[in-house]
Amino acid sequence: MNQRIIQAYRQAPWRVQLQWIGLFLLILVAGMLIAGVYLYVSGRAAETGARIKALEVEREGLAIRIADMRTQLALLNSSQVMLERAEKLGFRPVEREDLVYLPAAGVSGREVVFLAPPPTSVMRENKLLRPAYTQSLWDLFYQTAYQYLNTRGGQGQ
Amino acid sequence: MNDGAGRMRLIGAVFVLLSAAIVYQMIRIQNSEHSRQLVEMFARTYNQQVRIILPERGNIYDRWGNLLAGNKEVYEVGIAPPQVVNPETVARDLAAVLDVDYYDTLHKAESFRKEGNERYELIKDFVPADKIRQLEQKLAEYENAEKPKKGAPPSLAGVYWKAHLIRSYPENELAANVLGFYNFLDRWNGRGMLGLEEQYNNLLAGNKQQVVLPLNPTEIQEIPEIPPGASLITSLDRDIQAAMERIIDQAVKENGAESGTLVVMDPKTGEILAMATTPHFNPNEYWRYDEIFPVGSYFNRAISQLYEPGSVFKVLTMAAAIDAGAVQPETPFVDVGAIEVGGIWIYNWDRGAWGPQDMVGCMQHSLNVCLAWVAQELGPTQFYKYLQDFGIGRYTGIDLAGEQVYPLSLPGDSNWYPVNLGTNSFGQGVATTPIQMITAIAAMANEGKMMAPHVVKAYIQDGVQYTVNPRVIRQVVKPETARTITEMLAVSLENEASNALVEGYRVAGKTGTAEIPGPGGYTNMTNASFVGWGPVDDPRFIVYVWLEKPTSSPWGSVVAAPVFSQAVEELVVLMKIPPDEVRQQLASP
């Protein structure tokens, strides 16, 4: 009797086989999906990395070009060159007798050059790459949790 | 049947054994020492790159932002031998464009084929940008050219160039004696030499860093942003510097002098506006240093060359005596032409007796006898205390490398004799530099306050500009003493109708003529000097002129005073100082 009941509810062998095949295919597809995502992310990361490297090289080159251009500009505006250009244009150096002084209210003398801002208390952010590009998933979780706990602690005070 | 099963088992066992052997071998190779070393070598060589990042050297500007020292783009050109396609083209083009040896370049280009050399070969460094443009043009030509049916196509494959910076001085010789130079041909260990470049080398150079960068693009690592070295904004005024260099060059030439020095300072702040000395030097060609400055000569005489200043020193003696109350401008003195100090007779410059004088007359006629008497009235203790306060025998602390000092002999020292009190009073037997003299005397133009001389007015670090504030060394004489001395020296110039006078501007000043000591005593050669400042009612500049061994005339009043006048003529224009009359009109309501 028991044997009959078991036989009655037992799956047909071809069904069991089919289930196994289905399970295998499911795992295979899932694995391929994961591999595909991984490949895509790796590809994007590699492409971004290569772009960053190229941009860093470009930035370095531009810094050199800027320094060079600044010096070339200074060469074109150097004392001797300017004197020669002025003479060619028919100018001559001004002499004491040529000058006429007129009072001009509100005009102060020539100010010494400021090529950069004076010191302030504001600190600048110098990082070029965002942390998201370099930190691991674990770092992200840890940092987020740390910030969250810190914020909560701060609010509680 | 049994035979078949046995064969199958045998074949199976063989395959199992073979597989086991392969797995064993794989594990053995993976874990061998040689394999570990190989993996490490590959990791080192191909997975990462070690780079030394040199920050851009800081710039040097004049007070208005004109660039005096900057950086220029040049290239390093090299060959990667394994990548060379056509060694002949590489050698021919590099030899033609870079002016390098054809055979040497060919040997390097062929070195992979002939010797298996995989090492990068440097062909030439410090190649100007225009040469690289020529190479780029050739590269483009070869890329667009049709490929030949036989043989290797003309190609510059395997040739690489990389830009880097070298120091450049766009104004060439201008202010070179102040700037110093940077030995840029030593690319990795270069350093600033002399002047500002040496004094502020660490600040200008910044911090170089060695970084290890992964070559695997997925391992993104930010190249640290190395900030450039700090930039300096000097107190120099480019136009004033150029004018002063022109004037001193002309004076040296016209007077047949061995050298000339001209320093302009703002007496109220100690800022150096110009510092011109001869000979000139182009820091862009610093390798010619030995030609221009043979052993025993001075790069910047204004701070390095010690000399007996002569009568300009009388300003300090008279200031000390008036400040201490030993004499007044009206104090009478009868000059008999000689005075005995410490058992030695001292005479006037002309060996004459000038009769009754007051202190203004003593300064006007530059009477050694009178000043020796004044020093005696003051007494050695007071006299030398004032000289030390004026910084004689001490470093001024100017922010330029190479300042020299000669110790002042004091009573009690083995090399001090009583006669020194007399000779020192008129600037003989004492050695100073022009910067010491101008710093000390500038106190007369600044209410008795002696300011620290300096060249750097501000510096820029990490994108922020920091100002260097003027520093008072000390109040060396009372303000009224400073005003009295200024008035005395202005009157003495006017009475004398000096060559130093400038129409429309009241100036104060003093000449100096000092004989130069030789092996057998003093020689006929002199150091001719003049120190002057103005406008008297509101001094904006002090000028120190020194001509070494002039041959046209030995006297400071003849050769140095006109140079001062000429310098002031230009200064009042460049500094936009109206004549006294106009200034007073503008000031009055």
Domain extent listing, chain A: 30-92
Residue pLDDT, tens place only, B568-577: 999 999 999 9
Over 70: is that where the pLDDT of B335 sits?
yes
Average the pLDDT over each of A62-76, A116-130, B95-109, B325-339 and give the range with the smallest value.
Answer: A116-130
DSSP single-letter state for residue B36:
H
Give residue A157's pLDDT.
36
Buried b vs exposed e over B326-339: b needs ≥16 C-beta within 10 Å?
bbebebebebebeb
How many of the other CB atoms lie within 10 Å of CB of B295?
Answer: 5
Over 50: is that where the pLDDT of A144 sits?
yes
B238-587 homologous superfamily: DD-peptidase/beta-lactamase superfamily (3.40.710.10)
Residue B113, CB half-sphere, CA atoms under 13 Å: how many?
Answer: 12
Give residue B45's pLDDT.
66
Q: How far apart are CA B123 and CA B104, in angstroms?
A: 9
How many of the other CB atoms lie within 10 Å of CB of B348?
Answer: 22
Give residue A50's pLDDT.
86
A116 and B219 within 8 Å at the Cβ level: the answer is: no
How many of the other CB atoms lie within 10 Å of CB of B240?
Answer: 21
Over 90: is that where the pLDDT of B38 sits?
no
| A41 three-state secondary structure | helix
Give residue B589's pLDDT.
65
A118 and B467 within 8 Å at the Cβ level: the answer is: yes
Nearest CB among A73, A96, A126 relative to B569 is that of: A96
The CATH topology of domain B72-145+156-169 is Ribosomal Protein L30; Chain: A, (3.30.1390)
Cβ neighbours for A140, distance < 8 A, ≥ 6 positions apart: A132
What percentage of chain B reaches a pLDDT higher than 90?
Answer: 80
Nearest CB among B71, B464, B576 relative to A117 is that of: B464
Mind telling me how many Å the CA of A50 is from chain B's nearest CA? 5
- Residue of A58, A101, A124 for testing the chain B interface, max B β-carbons within 10 Å: A101
Give just the sign of the alpha carbon dihedral B333, B339, B341, B346: positive
B65 and A113 within 8 Å at the Cβ level: the answer is: yes
Give mean pLDDT, residues B331-341: 95
- Closest alpha carbon to B542 in B531, B550, B551: B531
Q: How far apart are CA A136 and CA A138, in angstroms?
A: 5
Nearest CB among A61, A101, A126 relative to B578 is that of: A101
- B561 near B529, Cβ under 8 Å? no
Could you tell me if residue A60 is left (phi over 0), alpha (psi between -120 and 50 degrees) or otherwise beta? alpha
Over 70: is that where the pLDDT of B8 sits?
yes
Q: Which residues of A touch B128 (CB under 8 A)?
A: none
Mind telling me how many Å the CA of B181 is from chain A's nearest CA? 16
Give just the sign of the alpha carbon dihedral A39, A40, A45, A48: positive
Q: Kindly report whether the peptide bond that precedes residue B407 is cis, defined as omega within 30 degrees of 0.
A: no
Over 90: is that where the pLDDT of B507 sits?
yes
- Residue of B48, B56, B64, B220 for testing the chain A interface, max A β-carbons within 10 Å: B220
CA dihedral B171→B270→B558→B339, nearest 10 degrees, is: -150
Give residue A1's pLDDT.
65
Nearest CB among B70, B223, B467 relative to A74 is that of: B70
Mind telling me how many Å the CA of B571 is from chain A's nearest CA? 9
Average the pLDDT over each of B43-57, B353-367, B514-528 and give the range with the smallest value.
Answer: B43-57
Average the pLDDT over each of A32-46, B477-491, B526-540 and give the range with the smallest value.
Answer: A32-46
Q: How far apart are CA B107 and CA B123, in angstroms?
A: 11
Could you tell me if residue B577 is left (phi over 0), alpha (psi between -120 and 50 degrees) or otherwise beta? beta
Residue pLDDT, tens place only, B402-452: 999 999 999 999 999 999 999 999 999 999 999 999 999 999 999 999 999
Nearest CB among B63, B231, B242 relative to A79 is that of: B242
Give residue B578's pLDDT.
93
Q: Residue B265's beta-bridge partner residues? A: B272, B542
Over 60: is that where the pLDDT of B1 sits?
no
Q: How far apart are CA B550 and CA B3, in angstroms?
A: 124
Q: How far apart are CA B382 and CA B485, in angstroms?
A: 18
Give residue A154's pLDDT.
43
Q: Any CB–CB contact under 8 A between A119 and chain B?
A: yes
Mind telling me how many Å the CA of B468 is from chain A's nearest CA? 12
Alpha helices (H) along B410-534 = 419-425, 434-441, 479-496
Q: Which residues of A touch B172 (CB under 8 A)?
A: 78, 80
What percentage of chain A reaches a pLDDT higher than 70?
Answer: 85
Total CB pairs under 8 A between chain A and B = 130
Alpha helices (H) along B379-431 = 380-389, 419-425
Give mean pLDDT, residues A67-86: 95
Give residue A155's pLDDT.
42
Residue pLDDT, tens place only, B237-273: 999 999 999 999 999 999 999 999 999 999 999 999 9
Give mean pLDDT, residues B513-541: 91
Q: Any CB–CB contact under 8 A between A45 and chain B?
A: yes
Q: How far apart are CA B30 and CA A75, in angstroms?
A: 62
The string of DSSP letters for B93-138 reads HHHHHH---HHHHHHHHTHHHHH---S-EEEEEEEEHHHHHHHHHH
Fill in the amino acid letter for A116: A
Give residue B44's pLDDT.
65
B64 and A110 within 8 Å at the Cβ level: the answer is: yes
Q: Any CB–CB contact under 8 A between A139 and chain B?
A: no
Residue intervals in chain B for CATH 3.40.710.10: 238-587
- At residue B443, what are phi and psi to the nearest 5 degrees? -60, -30
Fill in the amino acid letter for B366: S
Mind telling me how many Å the CA of B534 is from chain A's nearest CA? 15
Q: What is the CA radius of gyration of chain B?
A: 36
B218 and A49 within 8 Å at the Cβ level: the answer is: yes
Q: What is the pTM assigned to this prediction?
A: 0.83
Q: Any CB–CB contact under 8 A between B168 and chain A?
A: yes
Residue B361 buriedness (CB in 10 A; 0-12 / 13-18 / 19+): buried
